[in-house]
Structure 1
Amino acid sequence: MNTSPSSSAHDANAVLGTWNLVAFEVEAQATGERRPAFPSPSRGRLIVLPEGIMMALITLAPGPLPKTAADQAAAFNTMIAYSGRYRIEGDQFMTDVDLAWHAGWVGSLQLRTYRFVGERLELISAWAPNPAQPEQMGRGILLWERES
């Protein structure tokens, strides 16, 4: 993914609209290595409203329907969904989460650095323990393309 910014990240109005996920990578802090966040292609939509509300949904591309409780539990680990009131300060996109697929996110503050790469929006999470490998620090790098 080309990450050289081509326009100011500080135009908050430019973030408004509906965005489709182009790429979702996880970067390892120790090595700088980037890899896809999910083992197969993912899909996502980000909606940012002028009223100060946002919603993000990311999931794997459609696959077989879960048939067992174990299948349903596994499906839970192949998505991210949250919503809340957001604010922008400088290059920081901050969301006070009020709804989420994971109860641990409700009431949290989700911080993302944002910038534009051409016409695309890049969101970068803060360094945190990697959920798949908690002993390693990582961050998510998401690239979005405007839908509307």
Structure 2
Amino acid sequence: MRTTMGMGLRAGLALAAGLMPGLARADDEARVVGLWKLVSYEVEARADGTKLPAMGDRPTGYVLFTPEKRVFFILTGEGRKPAETDAQRAALLQTLVSYSGRYRLDGDKWTTAVDVAWDPKWVGTEQTRSFTLDGARLRVLTPWRVMPNWADRGETRSIVTFERTKE
């Protein structure tokens, strides 16, 4: 009887622990930690709902979440070529998104306190992204905002999909 009761108590405690938000959050944090390779990157314009591959059909990139709660995020456009002139070097900025900082998770969102970025305006800001995890897929959705790379399109949001990699 005592053994059965002890097992029931342990099972009940395990069940209760699984329902505690802090433990669920720790589970999500463990699930995002690692290296994710870019699969697709679309930008949706708020004004008319059009979606476009803002950095081409085959952009490249990665996001890395470390156990120490730092994120490294880099996306580059399709077909980038070495620059020879100042104008070409400036144009390369239109096909780059890159930042790093400490991150925190809150449910289906992560917020990065940016301390390094391709655009200095982002340094010192907090960037929040919604995400979903589906097996080895991480889908990221930005809030509506005017993105420095395509400000002429007005408010946009990015829809970015990554796949877990072991590289």
**TM-score between the two structures when normalised by the length of structure 2:** 0.77
Give the fraction of aligned pairs with identical amino acids, expressed as a percent: 35
Unaligned segments of structure 1, at least 5 residues: 1-7
**TM-score between the two structures when normalised by the length of structure 1:** 0.86
Q: Which residue of 2 aligns with 1:145?
A: 163
- What do you get for the CA RMSD once the two structures are aligned? 2.1
* 8 Å contact kept, 2:80–2:92: no
* 8 Å contact kept, 2:55–2:78: no
Find the partner of 2:34 among 11, 17, 21. 17
Report SS of the residue matched to 1:74: helix
Report SS of the residue matched to 1:50: coil
Question: Which residue identity lines up with residue 13 of structure 1 in the other structure?
Answer: A
Matched, 1:33 2:47: no
Larger relative helix fraction: 2
Q: Which residue of 1 aligns with 2:20?
A: none
- Change in Cα spacing, 1:73 to 1:17, as seen in structure 2 (3 Å) is same
Deviation at 1:77?
A: 1.5
Structure having the higher Rg: 2
Aligned residue pair count: 141
Report SS of the residue matched to 1:88: strand
Unaligned segments of structure 2, at least 5 residues: 1-23
Query: After TM superposition, what 4+ stretches of structure 1 lie above 3 angstroms from structure 2?
Result: none
* 8 Å contact kept, 2:35–2:62: yes
